[in-house]
Structure 1
Amino acid sequence: MGTEELKSAWHRLDEWLAVMARGSRDSLRPPVGRELVSTLHQQWDADALDELTLLLSIHDGAEESDAGMFLHGEQRLLPVADILRLGKRLCGPLHDDAELVGQYWHPAWVPFAANHDGASCLFIDGRLGAACGFVGEFFHESGGERTEWRSLAHFFSDMSEALESASMIRGQLPYVQDDLLYWD
């Protein structure tokens, strides 16, 4: 999958939100400016950022609110400023203990969604090689792990499918309450 597949998957998600969870849809922010995207590319390898750059060109994340926490795992799509801030924060422990690199967090992992305090997040694996572009999950207690999503396009395609069919993703079922999307 690639950027065209991501456009299609995001369009499906956006249409579903517009009809079924308008409050969550309204939490999406306007597109990011080019200067912020270049800052992102200075921090991480550009090869891993194609899909994320496309997504940010549609919406620079979601508002930091209950409405914005609509991604799988009740996480919100992060704006560029928060991506940079969270990436830097998660690299902090690596300076003190080199054995944590790749076990707890890796400097080439790019966070793109997080829960309310960043203790858990979704990231794109930016390391060169076979894992490049995979979506992973990070948990403050245990560190990062790669998941079954080979790309952002796969992640959003699976999420759209779960919403359209009211089915589970990784043990969580989507539901709407008060015009907001949640996962249980």
Structure 2
Amino acid sequence: MSSSRIIQAWSRIDTWLAEQATISFSALPQPATHEQIASAEQQIGVAFPSDLYASLRCHNGSGDVEILPGHTLLSAELIATDFLLAVQVSRDPYTDTYVNTQSPEWIPISGDGGGSHYVLGQLGGAQPRVGFRNELGDLDFAEGVMGACMSDLLEKAAGALAAMEVLDDFRPVVVDRELEWEME
């Protein structure tokens, strides 16, 4: 089951951070409450996939800690805020993007601070896929975009941390007890 994979991946990430990057570990948010998740779901108009729900119940995003190279995982509140911002931008007559608000086709799960996100797409399907949405609104669900599903995404991050291996052209390093990613 995907949710158990999420919980195991977070356990591996937490253990590594607690041992190697204690400041980053201390900065991770507490789990989201059921109410926080339900509020975000209501704002967007779609139930979160079980693996996203499980991740948020482990940690409500990653705060300022880049669990993924260049990206922080979004809290339930920021998932809703970033999605609604994309909706607002898509309504601008000078943009080519369209965001379906009647039946959302994707929701953001991470952000880079510049408008790009990893997203979960194909909502309502058997296994929502991880994709990438750039700051211009272009979506890419090509194979290899950080894994096929959210479980893969977190497992790749956990594995890269444990082995200090490259992930998406970046290697994890610890500087002053904080996790950082160096370009290879």
What's the TM-score once normalised by structure 1's chain length?
Answer: 0.82
Deviations 1:9-52 (A, max 9, x none): 11111111111111111111112222221123332433x52111
Letter in structure 1 aligned against 2:90: L
Q: Which residue of 2 aligns with 1:139?
A: 134
Q: Percent of aligned positions with the same letter in both sequences?
A: 22
RMSD: 2.4
The 8 Å contact of residues 69 and 167 in structure 2, kept in 1 or not, is answered as: no
Q: Which residue of 2 aligns with 1:151?
A: 149
Return closer, same or farther for 1:151/1:140 CA change in 2, 3 Å cut-off.
Answer: same
Q: Map of 1:38-117 to 2, 5 A cutoff? A: 38-42=38-42, 43-46=44-47, 48-63=48-63, 68-96=64-92, 100-101=97-98, 107-115=104-112, 117=113
Paired with 2:85 and 2:153, the residues of 1 have a C-alpha distance of 24
SS in 2 for 1:53: helix
Gaps of 5+ in 2: none
Deviation at 1:126, TM superposition (A): 4.3
Aligned residues: 174
The structure, 1 or 2, with the larger RCO (C-alpha pairs under 8 Å, 6+ apart) is: 1
Deviations 1:76-116 (A, max 9, x none): 222211111111111223224695337xxx9432112212x
Q: Which residue of 2 aligns with 1:11?
A: 11
Q: Is 1:31 aligned with 2:6?
A: no
Return closer, same or farther for 1:7/1:99 CA change in 2, 3 Å cut-off.
Answer: same
Paired with 1:127 and 1:56, the residues of 2 have a C-alpha distance of 17
What's the TM-score once normalised by structure 2's chain length?
Answer: 0.82
Gaps of 5+ in 1: none
SS in 2 for 1:100: coil
Letter in structure 1 aligned against 2:40: L
